[in-house]
Amino acid sequence: MSEEKKSLNFIEQIIEEDLSNGMKKENLRFRFPPEPNGYLHIGHTKAIGISFGLGEKYNAPVNLRFDDTNPAKEEQEYVDAIKKDVSWLGYQWENECYSSDYFQQLYDWAVQLIKDGKAYVDSQTSEEMAEQKGTPTEPGVASPYRDRTVEENLELFTKMKNGEFEEGEHVLRAKIDMASPNMLLRDPLMYRILKKAHHRTGNDWVIYPMYDWTHGESDYLEQISHSLCSLEFKPHRDLYNWFRDNVFEYSKSAYPLMPKQREFSRLNLSYTIMSKRKLLKLVEEGVVSGWDDPRMPTISGLRRRGYTPASIRNFIETVGVSKRENIIDVALLEFKIREDLNKNANRVMAVLNPVKLVVTNYPEDKEEILIAENNPELDAGSREVPFSRELYIEREDFKEEANRKYFRLTLGKEVRLKNAYIIKGESCVKDDEGNITEIHCTYDPLSKSGSGTEESKRKVKGTLHWVSKKHAVAAEVRVYDRLFSDEAPDGHKDKDFMEFLNPDSLKIINAFVEPSLVSSKIGERFQFQRLGYFNVDDDSTSDKLVFNKTVGLRDTWAKVNK
């Protein structure tokens, strides 16, 4: 075994350092903490890949924790979808946790903080508090309620909990430092009153803990060793530590380990958006058919589009982890799915833009069964494909005449029909408007694929895919293009991302596919030879096949042609 020294990313380096400084390997524990307020997208797979990847690397447990502290936005539907997506990616969590499971413990600790003079009830409006907050360059000023007595605070907080106040009347604040250069330390809110039913705790609570108070303490309760999140939480780290250090004093015997937060840069993908709020807008305004629309950058959208878990995981691994802002080219994602499908998808023939081809010297009634290899990359066997006198080929594969660069069918030139015969263009039939309605050709009976004859070994420059007209199966093919025409749709200050929507992001095509596909099942993936990779959509039925175009093949001819 070549012990190639694998370079570590900065998070792995931190862990290695902690380990060499005495942290026990069995104390390593990670978590992925989504808020159930939307569907997971490709950006989340980075966070998932980092924490679950570390779990796999160090054989450490990883919790799936739902950060459900805002009942106004969260729903069970999202919890279910998130679980499905993480599982689909192939990760297994140790425990399914909910921040809401810790509401009582959080409350008890908050009471202790009040008793220690480290938290107080503020009774101002949010506007008043915002005014007192100061700015990055000027310190804030203390709330008039900052020095309430412990007894008063305790009484007020209890009443808040008991529902004796309305939303907005009071909040609980941590008493830290109104002059801190870190705005988050200027007496941050710990609790607010929210009279909304929670998807798990129902109406048990009318006060809900804020993110900063909840998140770190949830990490602490679960004894997470490394709490990994994206860069925008960097300023929260001081607060994370403040809460953690205080609570640790109350509970160190029960919970002896202190987690630490570290931050990495989030993933951005060109030609798409990653904000849950904006994705929700696309769904709500009907721009897409739902969270799982194949054009969406959601995991469910990619799944429906035909992406494999392996391709997404490879993508994340290749992207790496760092602390700098980045925009990753979608071409890399597309490369990863092609790489996977090239190896694993069976090849079939389908014609998306059909024109009739008549083999004039082929007997009218004759039908032949030809053998086609399923996947040259794999030992995947072969299948039978019917051939007859009348076929469909792609309209783009014929020109009456063309230059030497054009390898396809022209009048007087030979090409091979994949898995079948070599044919020669003879003539074509046009309608009144000059559109080609039928192409006539002749075939060389001795040139049959795999027959071993001299004629069959003849080199011809072009090979076309085709389907037999009589045996062809009609199918709907949904061809997708990028949802946005701009590389960074939400990166413009003066323009809304909706302005960059690509009007041609979905084309519905009535195509003909080879008969072997009638038995294909939802989710199955194929390479339509010379076209791209396609999968069977959820909408597909035995009466009406529906395919999604996952991604096209690399097409150097299209580039030359431009």
Residues belonging to the active site? 35, 266, 276
Amino acid at 495: K
Query: What is the crossing angle of helices 211-221 and 237-251, to 10°?
Result: 50
Q: Nearer Cβ to RNA, position 132 or 225?
A: 132
Helices (H) and strands (E) in the chain, counts: 13, 27
How far from the centroid of its chain's Cα atoms is residue 176's Cα?
Answer: 39
Q: Which x/- pattern over 484-513 shows residues binding RNA (rule: CB under 7 A)? A: ------------------------------
* Among 104, 275, 326, 382, interactor with RNA by CB under 7 A: 326
Q: How far is the CB of 162 from RNA (least distance, A)?
A: 16
Q: Nearer Cβ to RNA, position 304 or 347?
A: 347
Q: Does 275 bind RNA (CB under 7 A)?
A: no
Q: How far is the CB of 102 from RNA (least distance, A)?
A: 13
Which H helix or E strand runs over 45?
helix 42-58
Q: Does 124 bind RNA (CB under 7 A)?
A: yes
Which H helix or E strand runs over 299?
helix 299-305
* Among 133, 260, 440, 471, interactor with RNA by CB under 7 A: 133
Site for RNA in 163-202 (CB under 7 A): 167-169, 171, 181-184, 189, 192-194
- Cα–Cα distance for residue pair 310/531, rounded to 1 Å: 22
Q: How far is the CB of 256 from RNA (least distance, A)?
A: 26
How far from the centroid of its chain's Cα atoms is residue 347's Cα?
Answer: 26
Site for RNA in 533-562 (CB under 7 A): 553-557, 559-560
Q: Nearer Cβ to RNA, position 267 or 506?
A: 267
Site for RNA in 422-451 (CB under 7 A): 448-451
Q: Does 462 bind RNA (CB under 7 A)?
A: yes
Per-residue DSSP letter, 296:
S
Say if CB 388 and CB 358 are below 8 A apart. Answer: no
Query: Radius of gyration over alpha carbons of the chain, in Å?
Result: 31
Site for RNA in 208-227 (CB under 7 A): 208, 210-212, 214-215
Q: How far is the CB of 543 from RNA (least distance, A)?
A: 28
Site for RNA in 76-115 (CB under 7 A): none
- Cα–Cα distance for residue pair 91/489, rounded to 1 Å: 31
* Among 153, 272, 419, 505, interactor with RNA by CB under 7 A: 419
Cα–Cα distances (Å) from 140 to 97, 394, 512, 550, in that order, read 37, 70, 69, 53
* Among 201, 246, 289, 342, interactor with RNA by CB under 7 A: 342
Longest dimension (CA), the chain: 102
- Cα–Cα distance for residue pair 41/51, rounded to 1 Å: 16
Site for RNA in 343-402 (CB under 7 A): 347, 375-377
Q: Nearer Cβ to RNA, position 171 or 506?
A: 171
Span from 79-87, 336-344, 384-392, 423-431 in contact with RNA (CB under 7 A): 336-344
Q: How far is the CB of 165 from RNA (least distance, A)?
A: 10
Q: Is 414 exposed, middle or buried (0-12, 13-18, 19+ CB in 10 A)?
A: buried
